Structure 1
Amino acid sequence: MSSRRTAIIGGLMVTTGPLSLTLYGPALPSIVADLGATDAGGKLTMTVYFAAFAISQLLCGPLSDRFGRRWVGMAFFAIYVLGSLVCALAPTLEMLLLGRLLQGLGVSAGVALSRAMVRDQFVGMDAIRILTMVNLILTVAPAVAPTLGSVMLFLGSWHLMFVIMAGFGLAVIALLGLGARETLPAEARVPLHPRRVLTNYGRLLAAPDFLMPALVLALSFGGFYGFAALLPFILIDQIGLTPFQFAMAMLIQTASFITGNIIAGRMARRLDGPALILMGLGFLALGGAGFAIAPRLYPDAVLATMLPVSLWMLALAAIGPSATASAMARYGHIAGAAGAMTGFFQMGGGFFASVLAIALFPDARTAMVSVLPALAVLAIIVALWHRRRYPGQ
């Protein structure tokens, strides 16, 4: 496929993951109240989603290496649609958790397969530019989702949000069936043997040139998914914003990510991947420091929370494509497994951050000002160590 078609299809596939977070973010306190759950129960809907998302990629990648990208993608997104409908009809927290589990299982195809489709066709800076385009497309749904979610709450029930998710999943299935071409030729497919799958994953985990960029993805995106789970409780429950005001505040996050992707896309014409990662680390350091200081000094100020969020999003725009391309550069022969493992690390970071927030901290703000700075410091240490050992990556 052309680079543009690959980026559009990959971007819409990947968008489903954040859409499943940001659309119902404004409704999370209402869902907790309607189902008679606690705040911890509401956060658990995120944790279950992250866990299923992370683990199922380890299955999705090898399946796509055996059967091709298109059909595996369509099958997994069908599971996502089923999960969305279960959530829409959920009368209890337990049923909602089941639906979120199915959503996480199905949506894992977006990250794993979009990266594999890029790696099947492009390498080096071409791959970085396409992944940057994917990231830019990725901003569209999260940009409108919180506003759309708040409008749905104003007009009626939160159940409709999950119907919208099901519709988006059906649209992705149609796009894969009618608009995509298979990027993995039959002669390049590998048998689906459990021993070989485990061997491939073991090879990736034992290779520092894969593991270090994947850890940077895990830590930096873990921060993003961590504050995505915490922000509704901080801005709505603690600061007192209405769902619509929350949606407006989230536009700061979206605008920062769009700006970061535009900057990263232009800088990719002049800088290589390691230089882009260094630029992202600078923003990450500022964002981590902001989380550690600003909400403590000004606990009731929206900007004290959202400015560090915006810095973190600028960092992700620079780090994400370059770290992904670096991790997968030498593993084109097992691109499905490599794409799945990078996705596992990325979503595993979200699972790790959300578990820390639930288990170790009494409230969302305390979790945010503690976990986010720690993740920033760890990401910077890992990235600099990798740069020192592998200067060209």
Structure 2
Amino acid sequence: MLFSVPKSLAFLLAMCSMVGPLSANTYMPGLGMIAEEYGVGEVAAYQTLSSYLICFALSSLFVGAISDSLGRRSVMMGGLLSYALSCMICAFSPNYESFLVGRILMGLFASTGTVLAMAVTRDLFSGRQAQELTSLIAVIFALAPAFAPIIGGWLVVLFGWRSVFFFLAGFAFLMALATFFLLKETHPEDKRTAFHFVPLVTTYAHSFKNVAFTAGVFCNGFVFMGSILFSAGAPDYVENVMGMGVTDFGYLMLPLIGFSVTGSIFCTKIAARLGEVKAMWLQIALMYIAGIAGVVMNYIWHVPYPLCLFAVIVYSTAMSVIRPIMTVYNLDYFPQNRGMAASIQQFFQTSAFAICAALWVPVVMGQAWKYDAVLLFCGVMVSVTWIIVLKTRPRCLPKGFQSENC
């Protein structure tokens, strides 16, 4: 049997965690229309994405700790319902300023599903089973960035850009209902810790003294950065690099997600066959190969579609094997504060997306080989941080800790 963990739980957690990428990617095909309707420039339109991502990253630091205090289930439902209301603000916004406020609020609440999906997974499982559930969630979760711009493109064409936010609000409301009826509390009261802001900040600062954990969350962030660059720059890559239109985002996203799903499905099998360490080094080697080959192919020969996607397809496949391993590793260091650890990990992941939107996309815009050069950079940083994890992990784990990962 490929997976031994409950499929229904993986589906529910993945659907809740999809809220984040749906919020970022679904409205992208309508950015031009939004800018035109509100009379703002392209830079201002992209600020609604970077503002969302910054708020998403900041709220990620606190939602896990809040769930450590109040429980996963209630925080999940409250966050999803508040997110749905934020979407309605965007849908009915009469001007750019109110739309921007709606996007900021969406960012503050969208992190709930993504962070708590990781925390619930680690509450229930450890070792190989935790990797299996994380991989299974990743398989389902991968549908979001694949179909979000496709759905958004058709919604924009058929019903206008505001329909995207009605769709997002409806999706979040349904997930809140599903959480109410299907998700049991996984963090009982006797294990909860009171939420206090100042001690929380102190705890966060103390957590970064754990070198293996710090290197691990940076590693996870760099892994994610390489692949998400193509989502952040999807309008540019599809229209300017590939020469296609607003309803053609599937030609970019579907191949990437298809190979990512394949990697996620076989992640635990690869790790079981090779061991986590060898599996990680194999995927890092593939990242190097992908980055170098992509730069050469797209700089020297300017290869056409679909060959221009070779590097990111290989990179995304490797990423889907690495991330479940690193996610479980990173939540091992603080068994009593996994919500906090999940929050920090999500902060670095979302920050990687924000950096792509604000920094990398303007730098690489219009040039396929520059996109692939970023993949190579990320591969190098993943290898550096992974070496640090390997050297420091044994002494950074809590005393008496036992895991299948070690």
Q: TM-score, normalised by structure 1?
A: 0.91
From 86, 90, 93, the equivalent of 1:90 is 93
Q: Distance in 1 between matches of 2:113 and 2:329?
A: 19
Q: Which amino acid aligns with 1:159?
A: R
Gaps of 5+ in 1: none
Q: Which amino acid aligns with 2:189?
A: A
Q: Distance in 1 between matches of 2:33 and 2:367?
A: 19
Residues 75-125 of structure 1, C-alpha deviations (whole Å, 9 max, x = no match) = 111221122222222344433322221111111112211111111121111
Q: Which residue number in structure 2 is paired with residue 199 of structure 1?
A: 202
Residues 17-46 of structure 1, C-alpha deviations (whole Å, 9 max, x = no match) = 122233223333443444433332333222
With over 3 angstroms needed to count, the CA separation of the structure-2 counterparts of 1:303 and 1:350, relative to structure 1, is: same
Q: Distance in 1 between matches of 2:90 and 2:218?
A: 32
Q: CA deviation at 1:238?
A: 5.0
Q: How does 1:1-393 map to 2 (within 5 A)?
A: 3-237=6-240, 239-297=242-300, 301-357=304-360, 361=363, 363=365, 365=367, 368-390=371-393
**Contact 2:212–2:388, Cα closer than 8 Å, also in 1:** no
Q: CA deviation at 1:310?
A: 1.4
Gaps of 5+ in 2: 395-404
| Paired positions, count | 391
With over 3 angstroms needed to count, the CA separation of the structure-2 counterparts of 1:274 and 1:194, relative to structure 1, is: same
Q: Which amino acid aligns with 1:62?
A: A
Q: Which residue number in structure 1 is paired with residue 401 of structure 2?
A: none
Q: Distance in 2 between matches of 1:335 and 1:373?
A: 31
Residues 340-382 of structure 1, C-alpha deviations (whole Å, 9 max, x = no match) = 1111111112122322236x63845386355443222212221
Q: CA deviation at 1:217?
A: 0.9
Q: In terms of mean alpha carbon deviation, does 117-126 or 152-161 score higher?
A: 152-161
**Contact 1:68–1:182, Cα closer than 8 Å, also in 2:** yes
With over 3 angstroms needed to count, the CA separation of the structure-2 counterparts of 1:322 and 1:143, relative to structure 1, is: same
**Contact 1:14–1:138, Cα closer than 8 Å, also in 2:** yes
Q: CA deviation at 1:294?
A: 3.6
**Contact 1:6–1:118, Cα closer than 8 Å, also in 2:** no
With over 3 angstroms needed to count, the CA separation of the structure-2 counterparts of 1:327 and 1:362, relative to structure 1, is: closer
Q: Distance in 1 between matches of 2:86 and 2:241?
A: 30
**Contact 2:65–2:339, Cα closer than 8 Å, also in 1:** yes
**Contact 1:43–1:229, Cα closer than 8 Å, also in 2:** no
With over 3 angstroms needed to count, the CA separation of the structure-2 counterparts of 1:353 and 1:151, relative to structure 1, is: closer
Q: Distance in 2 between matches of 1:243 and 1:300?
A: 22
Q: CA deviation at 1:291?
A: 4.7
With over 3 angstroms needed to count, the CA separation of the structure-2 counterparts of 1:38 and 1:239, relative to structure 1, is: farther
Residues 256-283 of structure 1, C-alpha deviations (whole Å, 9 max, x = no match) = 1111112214324434333332233133
Q: CA deviation at 1:74?
A: 1.2
Q: Which amino acid aligns with 2:357?
A: S
Residues 217-248 of structure 1, C-alpha deviations (whole Å, 9 max, x = no match) = 11111223332111212221454311222223
Q: Percent identity?
A: 25
Q: TM-score, normalised by structure 2?
A: 0.88
Secondary structure, aligned partner of 2:273: coil
Q: Which residue number in structure 1 is paired with residue 402 of structure 2?
A: none
